[in-house]
Every structure is written in structure tokens, then in C-alpha cells.
Amino acid sequence: MTPKEVIKMAKENNAVMANFKFLDFPGIWQHFSVPVAELSEEMFEDGLGFDGSSIRGWQAIHTSDMLIIPDPTTAFIDPFIKEPTISLICNIVDPITKEYYSRDPRYIAQKAESYLKSTGIGDTVYMGPEAEFFIFDDIRYDQNSYSGYYFIDSKEGIWNSGKIENPNLGYKPRHKEGYFPVPPTDSLVDMRIEMVMEMQKCGIYVEREHHEVATAGQAEIDMRFDTLVRIADKLMLFKYIIKNVARKYNKTVTFMPKPLFGDNGSGMHTHQSIWKDGKPLFAGNGYAGLSELALYYIGGILKHSKALAAITNPTTNSYKRLTPGFEAPVNLAYSARNRSAAIRIPTYSPSPKAKRAEVRFPDPSCNAYLAFSAMLMAGLDGIENKIHPGEPLDKDIYELGPEELATVPTMPGSLEEALNYLEEDHEFLMKGNVFTADAIETWIDYKRTKEVDALRLRPHPYEFFLYYDI
């Protein structure tokens, strides 16, 4: 779509406002609007100014002026703003140098796609994320100098099986039994279908929707794969739609990886493959129908996975899910069909076009642009340096004995540990200037000071249970 076509689309839909969306550094959409009369073809070249110092992880106050540059190919009619509004996703530009901003996650993703083409290895990378989430009825939390708590509630939660609800009709999924009974046990199917319908109106191709394993409204809606930047754009729109549809039902959605103790957390298994000249490069005659190039790609992911964790699993809460011996794939191995491995080779279809690697450790708290870019860069490093992943592990990893399990490396056990690995291992991200030193240093510093240290300083409620009577 061209700028002229965007303006035509706005007129045809009687839009009165133009809304501009862009991403802060951690990965949350920001926005502002202008009357549609201000929308001009020149705006797609000259941009619009805003204060970058108020955006998390961005400019200092003395260099705060920034520009948004709308991308005309991302235009859609916003389904949640009362007055007709056309929305566009934007890149960020420095108003003085006119250069794209090194900490703009979308620009980093665009550079990753360009780097792939520059290597000659391939010209297209496809990503297919499966972002799980929870739909709750109530969430309360607070933290101050003398108290701290959270309280989650869901009409589906098995903990409400004895609650007086006038009447309580039962049909609440037991822990780890939400995958996937029919209604009335699955009480959220109508809401999920509305989410799917809104996604389709906005140009997202949805393949399926269903309840997920956990009690209390865990869900999954799967989009069809797409190229790196486009699927990251779609994932942001996906989250926006899901949260706003849930709000219409007076419910709330979280993509937090582990909101419930004692039940499954939310992951974001990410399918990926590289193509060139319209042909898939991951299909071959090797293990599980993989090409040598695909095995090298997997080798790169496994080699750099501990550093990748700081980007693909970027919250302290991520490591409540990534716990050895539980449901998340923390063991750094690859296998066909085996869902206990960090990387799985799906075998649903014999078609070469379907051959892909499914990286299973990421979670949906990540900044998709950064996570997809980082995984691509790790995979390309594996191809460029012919990093073979070794032998596959076609056993149930959870059933391995201590001696055999000791030979299988694992993901980091905390965000702090992951950040330390990223600090030591990030040269592969800087090839082609995809991730700059400034972006990596800012990411590490932000996560350490705003999240790791902030959590470390505060007493945890469970510590009172463990230690108060000492």
C-alpha cells in the first residue's frame, strides 16, 4: 500500500483520526493520533515529532526530539477506537541526522532481514510464533515498603470449585487439564472466536484457536507464519486485539509467562525457516528430513541459546516457567516430534515447504522484533560457521537418569544469569550492524536496573512463610 492508497483508505472508511503506533524498547506499543486532515503524503517522508525521553529505554532529556515515520504497508482500520480511525505502525528517526534510531526494535528487525539477504544464504526468513496467554476475571497487585501481594481470579479457576456462586455450576478445568475439553468446561470459546474475527478483519491469517493446558482461562490462537518484520507487526496487533476484546467482556488478558503457581505457564514456540528464490532451504536428506543448512541453523541457536534467553525470555518471571523438571523445554537439545527438547522438528507434513525448526523456549513477554532478529542472527552464525548441533535426543528428557541428563546443557536459571551470558556472547548479534553496541548495552543495563535489581531489593511474600519465625 502506498501513502496515496492509505489516504484513500481513510476517506473510504470515513476516518476522522489517524493513529500512529510504535514500540518502546522493552516491547509495549505506544501511540498518538492526529485529525485525518493532517494525514498527507509528505508525512510519510517528513514524519511527525514527539518526545523520545518519555519512552522506556530511549533518549535522554537533552536529546529528546524524535520523529515517527509511518509505514504505509501497515495501515488498518482500528477496531477499538470509537470514532473511525486509521492506524499505522511507525519507524523512528533522529530529526537531526535523519538516520533510523538504533534502539527502535522495528528497525533492528528490518536490519536483520537485510543482513540475511547480504549473506547470500537466503532472501526470506519465515517466523511462526504460537503465543499463549491467560484470560482472567480479576487481577490485583501492590508493592510498597511494608506490604506486597498479588491476587488473581478466574471463574474457570479450579480453586473456585467450592465457591458460592449462586449457583456454582462446576465445569472448571483441573490443573493441567485445560487442553482441550468442549464447552461448558471451555467457557471462553465465544470470546476467542471474536478475537479471531477481529484479527481477520485486520489482515491476520489465523490457523486455529483453542483452550490451553492450564486452568483459569489459558488460551492459544495461532497465526500463519510470515516474514520477520511482518509477523512481528502482526504479533503486536494480535496482542492489541486480544486484550481489547477481553476488555469488552469485562475480562483481562496477560502474556506474563508464569502468572499461576502449580500449573503450566505461557510459552511462545517459534517456528522458523529460511528460503531463497521461492525455495525452502531447510528440507533435505538428513535427520528428520532436514538439510545440512538447517542443522547448522539449529546448531547456532543451541550454541547461543543462553545469551538469546536474555532477549527471548526477558523477564524475571520468565524463569518461573523455565524450570528444570517441569513443563518448559529448558534442555538444550533438538529432536523430531519430541516436545521436551528445546528445538523440535515438526513432522506433520512431508512437504519440503513445511520443513522448519520449532524453537520452544521463548515466551510471549519478549519484544518480538528483537527476539525474532536475535534467533535469526544466531541461526545464521551457525550456518556461516558450520556449527553442527551434534546428535539429536530422541528420548523423553524428563525420564533421563542423572548421569545422562548431566550431559545435556540447560537454559539459564534466571534473568540475571541470562544477561551475564548476553554480556559475554553478543558478537553474533552485531554482524551487519543489526544490533548495535548501544542497543545491547542499553538492554542489559535497563533489565538489570529496572527489573533484576528492583526485584532483588524487595521482600517476597513467600519469604515470610519460610522465615518469619526464625
Catalytic one of 106, 211, 360, 426: 360
Catalytic one of 130, 209, 381, 416: 130
Distance CA 178, CA 176 (A): 6
* Sequence-distant (≥ 6) Cβ neighbours of residue 104 within 8 angstroms: 22, 23, 91, 92
* Residue 407 predicted with pLDDT over 90: no
Under 8 Å between Cβ of 45 and 107: no
Dig out the grid coordinates for 183 from the structure.
Answer: 464447552
Query: Where does the pLDDT of residue 59 fall: very low under 50, low under 70, confident under 90, or very high at 90 and above?
Result: low
pLDDT reported for residue 349: 78
Lowest mean pLDDT among 117-131, 254-268, 387-401, 434-448: 387-401
Catalytic one of 78, 104, 113, 132: 132
Clarify whether 360 is annotated catalytic: yes
pLDDT reported for residue 326: 66
CA nearest to 327, candidates 404, 376, 270, 260: 260
CA nearest to 373, candidates 434, 314, 309: 434
* Residue 53 predicted with pLDDT over 90: no
Whole-model pTM: value is 0.95
Query: Where does the pLDDT of residue 152 fall: very low under 50, low under 70, confident under 90, or very high at 90 and above?
Result: very high
For residue 448, the 8-state DSSP code is I
Give CA angle at 235 (107, 243), nearest 5°: 125
Cβ burial of 279 (10 Å; 0-12, 13-18, 19+) is exposed
Average pLDDT over residues 176-197: 96
Query: Where does the pLDDT of residue 137 fall: very low under 50, low under 70, confident under 90, or very high at 90 and above?
Result: very high
Unique residue bearing C-alpha cell 485529525: 35
Q: Which amino acid is at 5?
A: E
Catalytic one of 78, 104, 358, 363: 358
pLDDT reported for residue 223: 97
Catalytic one of 209, 220, 233, 451: 220
Clarify whether 42 is annotated catalytic: no
Query: Where does the pLDDT of residue 18 fall: very low under 50, low under 70, confident under 90, or very high at 90 and above?
Result: very high
pLDDT reported for residue 98: 86
Clarify whether 198 is annotated catalytic: no
Largest CA distance in the chain: 71
* Cis peptide, bond prior to residue 184, ω within 30 of zero: yes
Catalytic one of 71, 186, 212, 451: 212
pLDDT reported for residue 393: 84
* Residue 63 predicted with pLDDT over 90: no
Dig out the grid coordinates for 233 from the structure.
Answer: 507487526
Distance CA 387, CA 393 (A): 17
Average pLDDT over residues 231-236: 98
Query: Where does the pLDDT of residue 62 fall: very low under 50, low under 70, confident under 90, or very high at 90 and above?
Result: low
Clarify whether 339 is annotated catalytic: yes
pLDDT of 68-107, one tens digit each? 999 999 999 999 999 999 999 999 998 888 899 999 999 9
Distance CA 242, CA 172 (A): 22
* Sequence-distant (≥ 6) Cβ neighbours of residue 422 within 8 angstroms: 307, 309, 310, 311, 440, 443, 444
Catalytic one of 56, 247, 337, 339: 339
pLDDT reported for residue 327: 67
Unique residue bearing C-alpha cell 477496531: 79
* Residue 27 predicted with pLDDT over 60: yes
Query: Where does the pLDDT of residue 206 fall: very low under 50, low under 70, confident under 90, or very high at 90 and above?
Result: very high
Average pLDDT over residues 108-115: 98
SS3 406: coil
Clarify whether 156 is annotated catalytic: no
Cβ burial of 407 (10 Å; 0-12, 13-18, 19+) is exposed
* Sequence-distant (≥ 6) Cβ neighbours of residue 61 within 8 angstroms: 53
CA nearest to 219, candidates 250, 194, 248: 194
pLDDT reported for residue 398: 67
Query: Where does the pLDDT of residue 60 fall: very low under 50, low under 70, confident under 90, or very high at 90 and above?
Result: low
Query: Which CA distances in Å does 28 have to 55, 223, 420?
Result: 10, 20, 24
Give the residue ranges of DSSP H helices in 173-258: 189-201, 228-248
Clarify whether 404 is annotated catalytic: no
Catalytic one of 269, 271, 344, 356: 269
Dig out the grid coordinates for 336 from the structure.
Answer: 523430531
pLDDT reported for residue 348: 75
Average pLDDT over residues 47-61: 80
CA nearest to 107, candidates 275, 228, 256: 228
* Residue 61 predicted with pLDDT over 70: no
Clarify whether 51 is annotated catalytic: yes
pLDDT of 320-371, one tens digit each? 999 876 667 888 999 986 667 899 998 877 889 999 999 999 999 999 999 9
Q: Which residues pair with 276 in a beta bridge?
A: 279
Average pLDDT, the chain: 94
CA nearest to 245, candidates 321, 193, 285, 300: 193
Dig out the grid coordinates for 21 from the structure.
Answer: 503506533
pLDDT of 431-468, one tens digit each? 999 999 999 999 999 999 999 999 999 999 999 999 99
For 90, phi and psi rounded to 5 degrees? -125, 155
Under 8 Å between Cβ of 284 and 371: no
Catalytic one of 12, 46, 51, 396: 51
Dig out the grid coordinates for 427 from the structure.
Answer: 558478537
